[in-house]
Amino acid sequence: MEVPEGIGADRRREAMAGQVRVIVGVGSSLSALAAVRRAVREAEQRDAVLVPVAAWQPEDDPLRPLSELEHAARRRLDTVFEQAFGGYPRGVLLHPEVVRAEPGQALVAAADRSSDLLVVGAGRPGRVSGLRHGGVARYCRGHAGCPVLVVPATDLLDDPAGDLAPAAARCRTGLAYQV
């Protein structure tokens, strides 16, 4: 992973000024996994910096210390890229962000340029809109000042490389995203 050591999010943003960016939400659903796969392809095609964003909230687990919740979000980044690619993809400049915020708000804040592309998963099928995991894609479409690409989980099944079937199967059985 090509991430400068010791550089905070603000300094990283300054370093990326003028660069094309693809921002992607990192979550624990199949559609989030599909979004990460698509975001990497988009970053490669555009020769863009990939900014994966993992948001976390104290309400995620009120009994755990905040440092543990932040660490779990960082591990989620590693896990998602491990499942999607077997590790962080080579040849794509990555600037991951772990943010204490609601997911939709964190993504819209990260995608703060009209030239950015924001990639999000379509959400979990069967969830009631507006509940805990619902509405991130809708929030981003309504508030982002850049193009928003919403990726359904079915994109995993249509993977042109044909190498996502094992990852999709693990996710369906609930083994993939345990943090």
* CA triple 52-58-60, angle to 5 deg: 75
- The structural domains of the chain, with segments of one domain joined by +, span 20-172
Tokens matching residue 119:
């990639």
d(CA 145, CA 157): 30
DSSP 153: G
Cut 0.95: pTM above it: no
**Options 1.10.287.110, 3.90.226.10, 3.40.190.10, 3.40.50.620; which CATH number does 20-172 get?**
3.40.50.620
Mean pLDDT by 10 residues, the chain (179 residues): 45 63 94 96 97 89 87 94 93 95 96 97 63 73 96 80 47 33
Listed in sequence order, the DSSP H helices in 7-65 are: 9-15, 30-46
| 4: Cβ contacts below 8 Å, ≥ 6 apart | 12, 15
